[in-house]
Amino acid sequence: MLKQKLTVLVAAAASALVISGCSSTNSHEPAELNDIRELVQSSEVWSKNLGQTEGSLIAPVVTSTGIYSAGGNELYRIDPKTGDIVWSREADAEISAGVGSDGHYIAVGTVKGEVEVYDSEGERLWTARLSSEVSVPPLVGSGFVFVRTADTRITAFDAASGERRWRYQSQVPSLTVRAPSQMRFSPAGVLVGQANGRLLALDGNGRTVFEALVAQPKGITEVERLVDVVGTPLVDANMMCASAFQGGVLCMSSSNGKTLWRVDVDAVTGPVTDGRNVYVVTARGEVNAYDYQTGKAVWSNSSLLWRDPSAPAVLGDVLALGDFEGVVHFLDPETGEIIGRSSVDGAVRVPPISMGDGAVFQTEEGEISYIRAVK
């Protein structure tokens, strides 16, 4: 019980420093927004309010059958063209993590420590009791639902039946950073960021394929030694990359796991790429770009200091991200210059999701919006 309390307290303290973004809890004054050259024309195509999600880090998912998201204790399927709600379903408790989907199965975690799984028409297929609360969106695919709970257990369920296939347990840390994070499929297996600064890969039977060191703990106090792997690992045909708080970014070969490059940076988002650069946001709010091939620094934008910008989404030749005031910023990926702005209702904590020539944003206030941008 004491360990759980310490985790919650430090998560709150870390989020004030890293992602909470409200100026009343941040000891640093957020940067004022300067005038910019408006080179991007943006428009809000549609917007819906799904219910407040403050503190839960609910992230939408875009699939071939629609957009799935949540607010409060409601799960929604949304038409991506119009923003119309196709159906909504009430979960047994407030949804604490989600949404995970492959377009056929939709999974959410609740504050009761349960995972609920639905089909694409909203029929609930099964519910399973877990060992603790779910704080990371379930990963759905290949006939499985993978769930990571707050006690660091990773459990694999059969997506259709809910039968538990295996469970992996790592060491439970006393302190963690509360930041948006997700698991990811890769050629090596399921990638899971760990609180010990390591990136774990598990195969289809729950066996460890590798544990890569992203960051080494430093300092004296437990807070100084926090090195949680944050955000969503980057996976493409060439690389697997991960970021760590108070650590850095590690990129490895997707084919053999060989380290390609590593940079030191106090990251609070997972790495994102457009095939030319790799982009990461720091604890101070800088947006950094590194050369995709070498990891060499390309540019750094510091105009959003202490505004808690989200991870960016790649929209063709534009980057889009949101901040703690709901301001949406469009950046030139070649220079890092802010070349357009828009806004949504509420703080943007989770990464926007690229869709067509725009991105889907979800805020703490529960607003989900599709914003299109043309350069």
> Distance (Å, rounded) from C-alpha 30 to C-alpha 20?
12
Cβ neighbours of residue 245 closer than 8 Å, sequence gap 6 or more: 14, 18, 177, 179, 215, 226, 227, 228, 229, 230, 266, 267, 268, 283
Residue pair 367/53 in contact by the 8 Å Cβ criterion:
no
Per-residue pLDDT tens over the stretch 189-225: 999 999 999 999 999 999 999 999 999 999 889 999 9
Cα distances from 228 to residues 178, 196, 199, 217, 359, in angstroms, run: 9, 6, 10, 9, 27
Confidence of residue 17 (pLDDT cuts 50, 70, 90): very low
Per-residue pLDDT tens over the stretch 253-277: 999 999 999 999 999 999 999 999 9
pLDDT at 26: 56
Confidence of residue 177 (pLDDT cuts 50, 70, 90): confident
Average pLDDT on 38-48 reads: 97
Confidence of residue 54 (pLDDT cuts 50, 70, 90): low
Collapsed DSSP state (helix, strand, coil) of residue 164: strand
Residue pair 229/243 in contact by the 8 Å Cβ criterion:
yes
Domains assigned to the chain: 58-173 (2.40.128.630)
Per-residue pLDDT tens over the stretch 125-153: 999 999 998 989 999 999 999 999 988 89
Return the closest-CA partner of residue 24 out of 325, 328, 311, 360: 325
Mean pLDDT for the chain?
91
Per-residue pLDDT tens over the stretch 63-85: 999 999 999 999 999 999 999 99
pLDDT at 6 over 70: no
